[in-house]
């Protein structure tokens, strides 16, 4: 049976502080949450947060199993993940730009939470930066001499998910508040949202 070892308290606290600093810097997932919350309200924003961090849990599981190292070691596998994620963001952006007013009304009134959740999962599962985070950053706080490397990675990964849920929820609430003031100008918001997605995809 594999040994279960928790990170020491000092490493855990240092990891949490460093993770909070990184989470404060908006990336594709945060911008996705902000756009969804600003455009469709806090509930949809929070559904996006839940989806994004279910995607993060996929990366936690992959890191625990050592798959993140395999993906990054293979240039082809990493490229597949990178370009698939970029293409999905561009797809979301173009769809948003071409969306008619009546289509937006239907989406706002039906299945908006499910759509935001599922898209959040895909956005973060296909986010190579998240895989790189777990490969390059998280291992710095793992002590191989203590044994149970897999359990240390798992605990740190779950701590990151917990911190991300809190910080991203704050982004969702803030964007939802601002969005209430802009929701009447739906065409402008829709164009901005689509532009953000396409820009993120091209940048990725």
How far, in Å, CA of 133 to CA of 68, rounded?
A: 10
Residue 172 lies in a domain: yes
pTM summary value: 0.75
Q: Residue 49 in contact with residue 61, Cβ under 8 Å?
A: no
φ and ψ at residue 168, rounded to 5 degrees: -70, -30
- Both tokens assigned to 81: 């993940």
Contacts for 169 with CB less than 8 Å, ≥ 6 apart:
46, 49
- Both tokens assigned to 53: 């961090």
Residue 46 lies in a domain: yes
* Sole residue written with tokens 């993770």: 19
Residue 68 lies in a domain: yes
Residue 18 lies in a domain: no
Residue 11 lies in a domain: no
Enclosing domain of residue 134: 27-203
Residue 10 lies in a domain: no
In tens digits, what is the pLDDT along the chain, a chain of 204 residues?
Answer: 567 778 888 889 989 998 887 787 777 788 889 888 888 888 999 999 999 999 999 999 988 887 666 665 777 766 776 677 677 767 777 776 776 654 444 455 557 889 999 999 998 888 777 877 787 778 888 887 787 888 888 999 999 999 999 999 999 999 888 776 655 555 555 665 666 656 656 655
How far, in Å, CA of 13 to CA of 127, rounded?
A: 26
Residue 1 lies in a domain: no
Residue 12 lies in a domain: no
Counting the structural domains of the chain, the total is: 1
């Amino acid at each position: 049976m594999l040994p279960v070892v928790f990170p020491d308290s000092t490493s855990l606290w240092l990891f949490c502080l460093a993770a909070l600093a990184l989470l404060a810097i908006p990336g594709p997932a945060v911008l996705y949450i902000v756009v969804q919350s600003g455009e469709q309200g806090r509930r949809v924003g929070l559904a996006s947060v839940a989806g994004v961090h279910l995607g993060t849990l996929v990366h936690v599981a992959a890191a625990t199993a050592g798959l993140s190292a395999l993906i990054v070691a293979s240039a082809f596998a990493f490229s597949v993940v990178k370009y698939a994620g970029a293409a999905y963001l561009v797809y979301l952006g173009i769809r948003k730009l071409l969306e008619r007013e009546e289509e937006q009304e239907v989406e706002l009134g039906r299945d908006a939470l499910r759509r935001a959740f599922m898209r959040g999962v895909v956005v973060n599962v296909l986010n190579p930066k998240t895989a790189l985070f777990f490969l390059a950053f998280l291992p710095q706080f793992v002590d191989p001499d203590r044994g149970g490397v897999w359990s240390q990675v798992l605990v740190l990964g779950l701590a990151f998910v917990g911190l991300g849920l809190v910080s991203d929820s704050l982004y969702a609430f803030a964007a939802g508040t601002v969005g209430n003031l802009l929701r009447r100008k739906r065409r402008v918001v829709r164009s901005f949202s689509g532009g953000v997605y396409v820009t993120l995809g091209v940048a990725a």
